[in-house]
Amino acid sequence: MISKSTISTRPWNGIIDCYRTYLPVSDKTPVITLNEGNTPLIFAPHISKLCNIPGLSVYLKVEGANPTGSFKDRGMTMAVSKSLEEKSKAIICASTGNTSASAAAYAARARANGYKMDCFVLVPKGYVALGKLSQAMIYGAKVVQVKGNFDEALKLVKSIVEKYPVTLVNSVNPFRIEGQKTAAFEVCEQLGRVPDVLAIPVGNAGNITAYWKGFCEYGKSDRPKMIGFQASGAAPIVLNKIVEKPETIATAIRIGNPASWKQAVNAASESGGFIDMVSDEEIIEAYKTLHQMEGIACEPASAASVAGLIKSAKAKKIQPESTVVCVLTGNGLKDPDTAIKSSSQESLEIEADLNKIAKSLGF
Ligand code: F0G
């Protein structure tokens, strides 16, 4: 059992420092960190009531508070540190955006520590939120926009690493899963107990795999029901069929053939949970509710966890008195275009005149 004091009394130096004994690292592993992890777990009073289940408590694990604005940093500190231990000088990934931002940042951090480390990223052209693309570019990665979707880009990078001296840092790299499992430890420590239900968006299915591994290793006999949510236009696991042309407004999870498909199905079934899908309308509704009624920002894909919880609560698939944690995987600032489009506000343009402004504000 990890004691609560690991977070509260020690200076925070990232997840490898905090959870070293739970991770495959040794004194020989050069630790590349941006002090990721230790993200807030915040109670959500409005969503708790909205679900209309007696005694329901909903908490949000705000992973957008990580250094590059997504949960990927937990996995990337491990993947990049281990790649350096193995003397790699370059990393590569396919990405819907967040993995590429994180890989680019940790490669830069490796360079800060005196290592040679190049970063190459393949992203689907036209389907990466602006914030993420700009991150990969400014952190100094070589960015290739592929005329194809994420699944095609992942196939390409898998072929590249077979031929060339470069390390794959997608979540098929087992060190990514190891790092990401630490979020499950944090949830239990912050809550002071294991949650009854963990709701999470599912794309390439690495994160649901990682959380389940974390809960299984945490050392308590209780484990949460894992409930995962895909977007309905990109729901291969729910449909039990590869989706050749995935489509969703939640571009982070616009994936038709997840690499960790089997592991995700296993996490859901072993835990007594399920994987379901939510429509783009349900995702945007939850995205707006999170911002406007909780004051908590996330990107659209992240809101799939809350949309899924609301859908499941309506279908009476959530037990009364449950404690539920929804994972908000990415920061709201990643996708300003969707934020502006989804907002019901029109921004007003008015002369700098007191009376006119006051009138326009409704006074
Ligand atoms: N939420 C966000 C914000 C993501 O960026 C991703 C995945 C997911 C959820 C789904 O997690 O793939 O582990 O099931 N993004 C990857 C990327 C695919 O390239 O950034 P998953």
**Cβ of 126: how many Cβ atoms within 10 Å?**
8
Q: What is the pLDDT of residue 219?
A: 85
**Residue in 149, 172, 253, 257 to alter for ligand 1 test, most ligand atoms within 8 A of Cβ:** 253
Residues of the chain with pLDDT under 70: 1-10
Of 287, 351, 297, which is closest to residue 65 (Cα–Cα)? Answer: 297
Question: What element of type H or E holds 118?
Answer: strand 118-124
Please work out whether the CB of residue 253 comes within 6 Å of at least one atom of ligand 1.
yes
Q: What is the pLDDT of residue 164?
A: 98
Nearest Cα residue to atom 15 of ligand 1: 252
Q: What is the pLDDT of residue 190?
A: 98
Task: Determine the Cα–Cα distance for residues 87 and 234; give it in Å rounded to an integer.
Answer: 37
For 170-182, give one letter per residue: b (16+ CB within 10 A) or e: bbbbebbbbbbbb
> Ligand 1: distance of its center to the CA of 203 in Å?
5
Q: What is the pLDDT of residue 114?
A: 98
Cβ-contact 280, 250 below 8 angstroms: yes
Contacts of residue 299, defined as CB under 8 A and 6 or more positions apart, other chains included, come to 64, 129, 250, 252, 329, 330, 331, 332, 334, 335, 338
Token pair recorded at residue 260: 């960790």
Q: What is the pLDDT of residue 350?
A: 94
Cβ-contact 105, 67 below 8 angstroms: yes
| Atom of ligand 1 minimally distant from the CA of 97 | 20
* Segment 169-202, tens digit of pLDDT: 999 999 999 999 999 999 999 999 999 999 999 9
Of 291, 286, 275, 272, which is closest to residue 332 (Cα–Cα)? Answer: 291
* Segment 16-53, tens digit of pLDDT: 999 999 999 999 999 999 999 999 999 999 999 999 99
Q: What is the pLDDT of residue 314?
A: 98
Q: What is the pLDDT of residue 2?
A: 63
Report the interhelical angle of 300-314 vs 280-294 (nearest 10°). 100
Q: What is the pLDDT of residue 10?
A: 67
Cα 192 from chain centroid? 22
pTM (predicted TM-score): 0.96
